[in-house]
Amino acid sequence: MQELEGLLELDKSEGIYIEIGNKVYLEIDGVNFSVTCVFIGMLQSEFMLITFPKRYKSVKNKLYSGNKMVVKYLYEGSVYAFQTSVIETITNPIKAIAIEYPKVVQQRELRNFKRNDVVIPGRIEAKNVEFKAVIFDISKKGCRFKYNDNQNNMNALREDDLLRVYMQFPGVADELGAMACVRNVKRTQGQLSIGVEFQDSTKSFLTALMHFLYSIEDF
């Protein structure tokens, strides 16, 4: 388990910003992989409650009182992290884990413009035409997609044109979409490469995007 001191060069942040239902990532002492669970409540300055993690059976023997862990989660585009320890594993009347309330919470902004090489199936709606595309890099602010240059009217795409981009994030059942504005257009070997900036995104799209970026940006 990583210690928090100097972790990711995070800036210290006063207080804790988290909502019930937030997904949290646990790095448990003695476990060489992270697990996810959901934040379900807290008593200010006393304790926090989280659900049993996925893969619970694989980490059950490490969830004993006093064992340490690092908790990370996303909130409004930032990564928050703190070190804590298990108070108790509750099995009745609900299944939950009580952990110590953090003394220090650290924060780091997700990179606004860091490009991440990806391969995400996508679909574009623009100029009354719909076509499939592949998103091959993505950031908090936008993405770039490419497609074969054989679509009617797509040569007419210009900077500042509006379109809607849909993508299938790994682990998310539904296809999610957002409005975007074209920022640049490139043609390479019979394909068009379009860079866009997200303009109007739903909460579900932003949440899925933030969790996806977290998973690939090596936090």
Beta pairing partners, 210: none
Nearest in space to 92 (alpha carbons), one of 55, 65, 58, 52:
52
For the chain of 219 residues, list the mean pLDDT of each consecutive stretch of 10.
42 66 92 92 92 92 95 83 94 93 81 66 88 88 82 67 91 90 84 88 86 73
Beta pairing partners, 133: 122
Residues 96-128 have pLDDT tens digits of: 999 999 988 888 766 554 556 788 889 999 888
Tokens representing residue 128 in the block: 């009354």
How remote is the C-alpha of 196 from its chain's centroid?
Answer: 19
Residue 93: is the preceding peptide bond cis (ω within 30°)? yes
If residue 98 lies in a helix (H) or strand (E), which one and from where to where?
A: strand 96-100
Q: Which domains does the chain have, with CATH numbers?
A: 7-109 (2.30.110.10), 116-216 (2.40.10.220)
The whole-angstrom separation of Cα 100 and Cα 103 is 9
